[in-house]
Structure 1
Amino acid sequence: MLTQLPKKFSFTIKKLEKLSPPLAGQAIFWDAKTPGLGIRITKNGVKAYIAQNRLNGRTIRLTIGLVDSWSIEEAQSEARQLAVLIDRGIDPRVEKLKTKLIQNQTVLTIWNAYIKQKEGRWSHRYYLDHADMSRDGGEIISRGLRKNQSNIKERGFLRPLLNLSFDQLTREKVIAWIEKEKVSRPLKTRLALAMLKAFIRWTSNHSSYKHLIVDNTFCERLNQELPVPVARRDCLQKEQLEFWFGSVKKIKTQTISAYLQSLLLTGARREEWASLKWSNIDTIWHTAIIHDKVQETRVIPLTPYVEYLISSLPKINDFVFASERSKSGYLKEPRIALDQALHRAGLPFLTIHGLRRSFGTLAEWVECPAGISAQIMGHKPSAIAEKHYRQRPIDLLRKWHIRIEEFILQEASIDFPQKPNN
């Protein structure tokens, strides 16, 4: 028989212990202190806390947990939290299912949702960098291989961490990953860590995922675990220009040869120049519109030799430096051809970005104002005067850009048939 207690009373340990199981079915008693909190006793003597409320005109009942596993205070607190959700029109059963589904997912699943949401705000290159960090790996590379390089694409640099669940992704795991990778690829490790930190901040502020992050600072102050980055200084000297141009002009693929030469002569970034479209070229006013990562687009002069190189290229598709084998439709891998040209000319190692650095350096030989070469290259203005008081017309940029090109071509002993300007 049940102990004679009213259906509603203030829960205490002694009172709950006095409750006996019913002869059949179940019996429910309610807490006088916490609305909606009850205790259910089955005929087998199992006692469990429950929460009952009304949502959209219907009664919903949830099991909180066994009396042996929950204290009265914990059950009362849980019942209040459930009541708040229901008062807001949220069904706790649905939220619990969502939470369970999310908790069973790896960090990679949320990472993919993160980069998909950010894709529209990021540059295409930055989005691809994030996708590259999390790729599966195993794909066959058919071209663009360096000597002794495997033709199997490696898995993403961050993939070992992204394959974990959020409760496994700890500061200790990140430090262990840093220790392993920083020896051979310190710069890439620094970039990947910055991406991971930004992702954790986004997750901790997202309404659907923030409960997954216990500590959103576990990636902070880990840069000290990495060596201080050393800036690259690879750059062509003026006495090397004749050898460099002579070798690059011998590259069999005309598109690559024109791309590398014009990249040096414009100081543009690798991707923004490679993705240049024919529709961005104006041969009447001799200008080119470049998709800039700082200001979205910028207009630069189309100097005579650069225009000569571009005009000699076949129109295969929408892109000036087109590639029929690239998925993007434009040139993707000029690095191997550049390495071979440097080897033929007996010149030291030079990166693709080193050509951009070379333009800025060579511009000083003609005493070009730093602000003008920076504007041509698409550098972000660094001084108040540059930001607010310098609105240089294209003709002023053209004057200095042509002077820079003439100097470089003179040092390289290059002569070409020029067309008179319209």
Structure 2
Amino acid sequence: MNKENFTPERISGYRCESGRQQTIYWDKKQQGLGLRVTASGSKAFVCEGRLFGKTVRITIGSPDIWPLERVVTVDHSTGDKIERVGARQEAARLKALFDRDIDPREQKAEQRAAHEARQLESRRKDAAVEDAWHKYLAAHRSKWSERHYEDHQRAAQAGGEKKRRGAGLTVAGPLAPLMQLRLSDLNAAHIASWMNAEVQLRPTNAEQAYRKLRAFIRWCDEQQEFSKLVPEGAYSARAVRDAVPRPKAKGDCLQREQLATWFEAVGRINNQVISIYLQALLLTGARREELAGLRWNDVDFRWLSLHVSDKIEKETGRYIPLTPYLAHLLLKLKQANDTAPPARAIAPHTGEDPAWKPSEWVFSSPRSADGKIAEPRIAHKKAQKSAGLPNISLHGLRRSFSTLSEWVECPVGVVAQIQGHKPSALAEKHYRRRSIDLLRLWHNRIEAWMLVEAGIEFVTEDNNPTM
């Protein structure tokens, strides 16, 4: 192995030997320093040494980037000295590592990993609440109902955009002021200040927004990307808890003496789908989303049962009885749903419209984006107002079913199972799951009692009035 003292002129003049892919020239002055020249003419400094009895060769870099010796220059604008390490100094450093049985490649990999970890931690600390919020919503979209998901979107919207319905612009959601903060800035003092401001404007929304924020922070703590970024005690500090308004228990519920007026008012609603949907809410005690998502293949008119989605049993849903009067109402909808609208053009000779087909939804809506009922509250409020009734929410109808069922002395566990409440007692949770026949016995009694109080005379197929 011939060696020469490297000089810039010699480095410039080195060529790859004819017939070879590469040639390495070795420096006489610095042990282990070489210059690799390939057949294509590219050049690179290399350092060769022994590590655990094996020869290891490491590339330093191109002579165009690495000077042969250390170079010191002065920045004339600042007067600072700028030092560039030369290839000989770098080879000496690598040789020293070889002599101590340290693999420079592993050291470089460790340094790079540490550098990337520092950069990742820096990016983590700069993570915005808004970015984490979008990931939080995406992670839960498949688990939430569409309405619940949209509630979270509205809670954080910046506002100022044109409304999808009606005139005017959207209003900023209660969580909007927090979206531009960093997660690391989401401390107790900031949250308390935000809560105090929101309570002055919209106390009910502020309390709901706090619960959403609390669930979001808990989720962040469970994610590697965001864990331990939100300061400890951000939502549980006394200053925050004192600022959160206490939720008031809702008591909107139909009274026994209001049933006749309510059924009459709801029965006058022009939209038959909405009218029957509202009656179904009261007669089943189901959640509004559960009933709105009912498909025709979930309705069994033969064995008198409904298969509804369930907040607790998300994968399997639950089966509840189809009571006689409700079955009568749904058959009306079924007949209307299976009848093609007369105003549509029909195909010649067949008398059928090839573009029309019955809706899969029990409570369908041709104007809705997904084809099912979306907003029955407006019609319900108008009907109640015209009848002089107090405003009962859709969830109030669910509450009414539970409350009014006590008039027939129905067991609490039966009502809970029909409504899809989570079992509260040990026996209910592990041992007592009533058959749908037993649920039907009590459910039919509840419906019959409501019809009697409402003054509705309904005769079943066996010609026996329900009352």
1:218 paired to 2:234: yes
Would you say the 8 A contact 1:142–1:151 is kept in 2? Answer: no
Partner SS state of residue 217, structure 2:
helix
Q: Which residue identity is paired with 1:327?
A: A
TM-aligned CA distance change 1:409 to 1:333, over 3 Å: same
Would you say the 8 A contact 2:260–2:455 is kept in 1? Answer: yes
Would you say the 8 A contact 1:190–1:223 is kept in 2? Answer: no
Distance, in Å, in 2 between the alignment partners of 1:325 and 1:223 is 43
CA apart distance, 1:211: 5.9
- Quote the residue 1:6 is aligned against: none
Alignment of structure 1 residues 105-254 onto 2, 5 Å = 105-137=127-159, 138-142=161-165, 151-210=168-227, 212-213=229-230, 215-221=231-237, 222-254=240-272
- Quote the residue 2:323 is aligned against: 303
Would you say the 8 A contact 1:303–1:402 is kept in 2? Answer: yes
- Quote the residue 1:331 is aligned against: 373
CA apart distance, 1:318: 2.0
CA RMSD of aligned residues (A): 3.1
Instruction: Could you list the structure 1 runs, at least 4 aligned residues long, displaced by more than 6 angstroms after superposition.
Output: 52-56
Distance, in Å, in 1 between the alignment partners of 2:103 and 2:386 is 78
Distance, in Å, in 2 between the alignment partners of 1:155 and 1:420 is 58
Distance, in Å, in 1 between the alignment partners of 2:300 and 2:103 is 65
Q: Deviations over 1:366-399 (max 9, x none)?
A: 1111111111111111111211221211011101
**% identity of equivalent residues:** 40
TM-aligned CA distance change 1:134 to 1:328, over 3 Å: farther
Partner SS state of residue 91, structure 1:
helix
TM-aligned CA distance change 1:211 to 1:236, over 3 Å: closer
Paired residue total: 349
Distance, in Å, in 1 between the alignment partners of 2:123 and 2:256 is 62
414, 424, 444: which one aligns with 1:402: 444
- Quote the residue 2:396 is aligned against: 354
Distance, in Å, in 2 between the alignment partners of 1:189 and 1:47 is 59
1:284 paired to 2:284: no
Gaps of 5+ in 2: 1-68, 74-78, 85-93, 338-357
Gaps of 5+ in 1: 1-22, 28-42, 61-85, 144-149
Q: Deviations over 1:15-73 (max 9, x none)?
A: xxxxxxxx96259xxxxxxxxxxxxxxx943699xxx999993774xxxxxxxxxxxxx
Distance, in Å, in 1 between the alignment partners of 2:458 and 2:71 is 99
Distance, in Å, in 2 between the alignment partners of 1:330 and 1:310 is 15
TM-aligned CA distance change 1:169 to 1:416, over 3 Å: same
- Quote the residue 1:381 is aligned against: 423
Q: Deviations over 1:205-261 (max 9, x none)?
A: 322223643x13211132332232221111111111111111111111111101101
CA apart distance, 1:156: 2.8
Greater Cα shift, 306-315 or 99-108: 99-108
Partner SS state of residue 57, structure 1:
helix
1:366 paired to 2:382: no
Max Rg structure:
2
TM-aligned CA distance change 1:206 to 1:90, over 3 Å: farther
1:57 paired to 2:120: no
Q: Deviations over 1:187-222 (max 9, x none)?
A: 332222122122223323322223643x13211132
CA apart distance, 1:341: 0.7
